[in-house]
Structure 1
Amino acid sequence: MKPLRRTNRWTRGNRFTLLENGEAFFPRVFEAIAAARHEVMLETFILFDDKVGQGLHAALLQAAQRGVRVHVLVDGFGSPDLPPAFVDPLVQAGVFFRMFDPGRAILGQRLNVLRRMHRKIVVVDGTIGFIGGINYSADHLADFGPEAKQDYSVEVRGPIVAQLHQFTHAVVASANSASTHSRSKAARNKAASTPAEAAEAGPAQALFVTRDNHRHRNDIERHYRLALRAARHRVVIANAYFFPGYRLIREMRRAAKRGVDVRLVLQGQPDMAIVRTAAELLYDHLLRAGVRIFEYCDRPLHGKVALMDQEWSTVGSSNLDPLSLSLNLEANVIIRDREFNQHLFERLSHLMENSCRQVEAPEPSRWDSLRVARSVLVFHLMRWFPTWAGWLPKHAPVITKLGPQAQAPEPTQRLTPSA
């Protein structure tokens, strides 16, 4: 897929509303789709056929039935088991339903693990957007039980929505480019649905930042590093899957050593045991530099948010681990707004004060040398991970347009390995 050229200039006049967990996120998305007049663009890693998926299904089906253009892109690894009874009514109503790199299970195992489409974006009528880490599954609701996820997204209004809109349309146009006929159809759809730039909606400046395997390989990580380098007072990073590269760890340590209050909120009750094991390998190296680490223990943490000082914040789909930073397709929004920053800080502070265990530096012991050596080894091995990632298998991902069960799925675009 040909990458979208984006500006690094901040876009003014935006308003961001923090949506914490599915209880806040799902009603707002479903309401926006219910009010759609022209178009719904939706990308997600996970869409399950559960009560949340059925709620989204109903909203999309009703929109399509009243003439709204609806485009849905799901990931083949994250959403592998959608039944025909779920997909067929949407397709028959006119929804353009596509799957990124479907893959096939071999002996019950899905092997298409690498280079996933991990973004979570919604754009409605080109005027309202949503971006964050929340998937369409019931485990983002508290009534799911102890395994319910703690997570964040934002509702976006203002001129920056045009960039989300342009980006999702570029994905659709690329998927439609298999033939001259589909290219012309894509062009007509794009021309018919490109809105005028949204009016200013608030005081926030914003950047829409993505990660791909072509021209934007390290954009999200680079913005984290720049913000850490500029931080003077406080840094709070809440991230579900934490095993970042050498340069990001180095900037966290440098910030803490120059007196910045650097706090990490990580998983204390992880959904996968290896998540905590991997993060713990870094604890000693970070704690010795003055970084404070809090483990969230109420339930699994799935958030991907951060703030620096009093203005800079980010919300999105990107974890701080090798998959998100070096392999997956991700999308974050970076926000400069004091009010949003303060609200996010208050919500994360509430988490740290009421639901977290602070990790203490270990007492001196005869094992100190071994622990330090292990941390240093891991720390320096990580600095080479982006190079190793380039050696991992590079298949050509396919975006497949789904049709009724009676028809075979139609591959609409074979992407280059760098897509």
Structure 2
Amino acid sequence: MDQRARWVGGNSISLLENGEEFFPRVFDAIRQAKREVIVETFILFEDKVGMALHAAMRAAAQRGVKVDVLVDGFGSPDLSREYIEELSSAGVKMRVFDPGKRILGQRLNVFRRMHRKIVVIDGELAFVGGINYSADHLLDFGPKAKQDYSVELRGPIVAQIHQFVLRAIALGDKGPRWFRRRLKQAPPVARESVGQVEAMFVTRDNRRHTNDIERQYLAAIRAARRRIVIANAYFFPGYRLIKELRRAARRGVDVRLILQGEPDMPIVKTAASMLYHHLLHSGVRIFEYCDRPLHAKIALIDDDWTTVGSSNLDPLSLSLNLEANVIARDKAFNQLLWQRMDTLMRESCKVIGEDDLASEWSGWRLVRSFFIFHFLRWYPSWLGWLPRQVPRLTLAEATDLAEKREQREKAGENGATQTTEAA
């Protein structure tokens, strides 16, 4: 957990688009698990997707598989007592990432969230991406169904991911002795080569890895020679990343951004659009995805670099949340992702041009640009002033989340979670 990310060869990687591809693969992998299932997610709702995950985990635990689940207390606050009790009684250990003290039953520290989406099966198979366990990741959810991506991984990189999630569990259990015992008992990991993909597992936390994901983006953008395509749901990055994108476009790189045109929250589009003038004037091309809310956190650069994960390019993900991305170097996977993004841009996106921005008063644009420039330049430092608490994980024994749900119901706030930011 404290080591710097490094490239590991000999892996295989598969792209999973939307819940239709992701959920069946994850649930099938859990059903076939022999020793261990570890799941980390920001959002787990008690809808048809959450119930399918519940059934798969419960069945695995009942046949003797060790099952650990970590959810974020802010993103997943409304699980019922019955949901948690049935998992606990089958032997599933459910933990809640919920830093900060509550005042009058309300959690005030909502900014440092466990935003990762990771699954590890038997130390041999891993899933990393941006898809939560909720029905709004399925097309039949309707116009608000999210467009999103994850990857399925096999090979030596899974060993790194596996050790990472084990350390996260051990940290939550606050027991160095238990931690050493758990690592010794950890199932063997797949270290043999299973493919040609070089991969790197990169995380962001509030202690030693505060900007690792951003640094990887910056290094790849600086090295770009032909093309950069970034599809990101919540786009309001820091000054350095904006500067490097503009520099890349000016030296002739084809820089394209795919952003939300039909956002799940209007402020998302408003924030991103404040940057359009800076980007367009430098030659960056902007595409707004208009079919439904875009939830992607992916990028491809030149012919072989790609990343898929949980990290948005906004203040929360880059400076506050706990995030995890996989970066791959592989021409075949890069080409596949390019084909998917090219189809998205041609068939489902509106191209933003100068005419779309001409209605704004130039004087106001100048004033606004001045403040945006300085905010983007300094916000990582400002956010760093917030308390950097040690992550605390609470074992959910049918109390934590269920009690919060009952409090909400009594207060007449039933269903409020459906409007939680599903970042």
TM-score by length of 2: 0.91
Q: Are 1:207 and 2:204 an aligned pair? A: no
Q: Are 1:303 and 2:303 an aligned pair? A: no
What is the CA deviation profile of residues 311-362 of structure 1, one whole-angstrom value per residue up to 9, with x for unaligned ones? 0000000000000000000000100000000000000111100000010114
> Which residue number in structure 1 is paired with residue 421 of structure 2?
none
* TM-fit CA distance, 1:7: 4.0
* TM-fit CA distance, 1:223: 0.5
- Supply the AA of the counterpart residue of 2:117: K
Pair 1:106–1:354, CA change in 2 (3 A): farther
Mapping of 1:40-55 within 5 angstroms?
40-55=37-52
Match of 2:141 among 136, 140, 144: 144
Match of 1:315 among 308, 311, 316: 308
Residue 79 of structure 2 contacts residue 402 of structure 2 at CA under 8 Å; is this kept in 1?
no
Mapping of 1:251-400 within 5 angstroms?
251-362=244-355, 367-395=361-389, 397-400=391-394
- Alignment coverage as a number of residue pairs: 402
- Supply the AA of the counterpart residue of 1:92: S
Q: Are 1:90 and 2:87 an aligned pair? A: yes
Residue 163 of structure 1 contacts residue 208 of structure 1 at CA under 8 Å; is this kept in 2?
yes
Q: Which secondary structure does the structure 2 equivalent of 1:354 belong to? A: helix
Whole-Å separation in 2 of the counterparts to 1:133 and 1:264 = 18
Mark the runs of 5 or more structure 2 residues left unpaired by the alignment. 404-423
Whole-Å separation in 1 of the counterparts to 2:108 and 2:137 = 25
> Which residue number in structure 1 is paired with residue 164 of structure 2?
167
Pair 1:162–1:397, CA change in 2 (3 A): closer
Q: Which secondary structure does the structure 1 equivalent of 2:181 belong to? A: helix
Q: Which secondary structure does the structure 1 equivalent of 2:27 belong to? A: helix
* TM-fit CA distance, 1:103: 6.6
Once structures 1 and 2 are overlaid, which stretch shifts more, 303-312 or 381-390?
381-390
Match of 2:185 among 186, 189, 192: 192
Residue 72 of structure 1 contacts residue 95 of structure 1 at CA under 8 Å; is this kept in 2?
yes
* TM-fit CA distance, 1:379: 2.0
* TM-fit CA distance, 1:96: 1.2
> Which residue number in structure 1 is paired with residue 28 of structure 2?
31
Pair 1:39–1:262, CA change in 2 (3 A): same
Mapping of 1:74-85 within 5 angstroms?
74-85=71-82
Residue 267 of structure 1 contacts residue 295 of structure 1 at CA under 8 Å; is this kept in 2?
yes
Once structures 1 and 2 are overlaid, which stretch shifts more, 397-406 or 249-258?
397-406
TM-score by length of 1: 0.92
Mark the runs of 5 or more structure 1 residues left unpaired by the alignment. 410-419
Pair 1:318–1:61, CA change in 2 (3 A): same
Pair 1:309–1:109, CA change in 2 (3 A): same
> Which residue number in structure 2 is paired with residue 121 of structure 1?
118
What is the CA deviation profile of residues 274-319 of structure 1, one whole-angstrom value per residue up to 9, with x for unaligned ones? 1001001100000000000000000000000000000000000000
> Which residue number in structure 2 is paired with residue 156 of structure 1?
153
Residue 80 of structure 2 contacts residue 401 of structure 2 at CA under 8 Å; is this kept in 1?
no
- Supply the AA of the counterpart residue of 1:118: H
- Supply the AA of the counterpart residue of 1:52: V
Q: Are 1:71 and 2:68 an aligned pair? A: yes
Residue 170 of structure 2 contacts residue 178 of structure 2 at CA under 8 Å; is this kept in 1?
no
- Supply the AA of the counterpart residue of 2:227: R
Residue 38 of structure 1 contacts residue 193 of structure 1 at CA under 8 Å; is this kept in 2?
no
Pair 1:209–1:396, CA change in 2 (3 A): closer
Whole-Å separation in 2 of the counterparts to 1:154 and 1:242 = 21
Pair 1:105–1:351, CA change in 2 (3 A): farther
- Give 1 or 2: higher helix fraction: 2
Whole-Å separation in 1 of the counterparts to 2:218 and 2:36 = 36
Q: Which secondary structure does the structure 1 equivalent of 2:332 belong to? A: helix
Q: Which secondary structure does the structure 2 equivalent of 1:32 belong to? A: helix
Aligned-pair identity in percent equals: 62
> Which residue number in structure 1 is paired with residue 213 of structure 2?
220
Pair 1:366–1:129, CA change in 2 (3 A): closer
* TM-fit CA distance, 1:380: 2.4
Residue 76 of structure 1 contacts residue 103 of structure 1 at CA under 8 Å; is this kept in 2?
no
Q: Which secondary structure does the structure 2 equivalent of 1:384 belong to? A: helix
What is the CA deviation profile of residues 163-214 of structure 1, one whole-angstrom value per residue up to 9, with x for unaligned ones? 000000001111122xxxx543343232112414432111110110000011
Residue 51 of structure 1 contacts residue 138 of structure 1 at CA under 8 Å; is this kept in 2?
yes
> Which residue number in structure 1 is paired with residue 416 of structure 2?
none
Whole-Å separation in 2 of the counterparts to 1:280 and 1:152 = 23
Pair 1:41–1:261, CA change in 2 (3 A): same
Whole-Å separation in 2 of the counterparts to 1:101 and 1:234 = 40
Q: CA RMSD in A?
A: 2.1
Q: Which secondary structure does the structure 2 equivalent of 1:341 belong to? A: helix
* TM-fit CA distance, 1:104: 8.0
What is the CA deviation profile of residues 66-105 of structure 1, one whole-angstrom value per residue up to 9, with x for unaligned ones? 0000110000000001111111111111111100017788
* TM-fit CA distance, 1:381: 1.8
> Which residue number in structure 1 is paired with residue 173 of structure 2?
176
* TM-fit CA distance, 1:375: 2.1
Once structures 1 and 2 are overlaid, which stretch shifts more, 387-396 or 255-264?
387-396
Whole-Å separation in 1 of the counterparts to 2:191 and 2:213 = 25
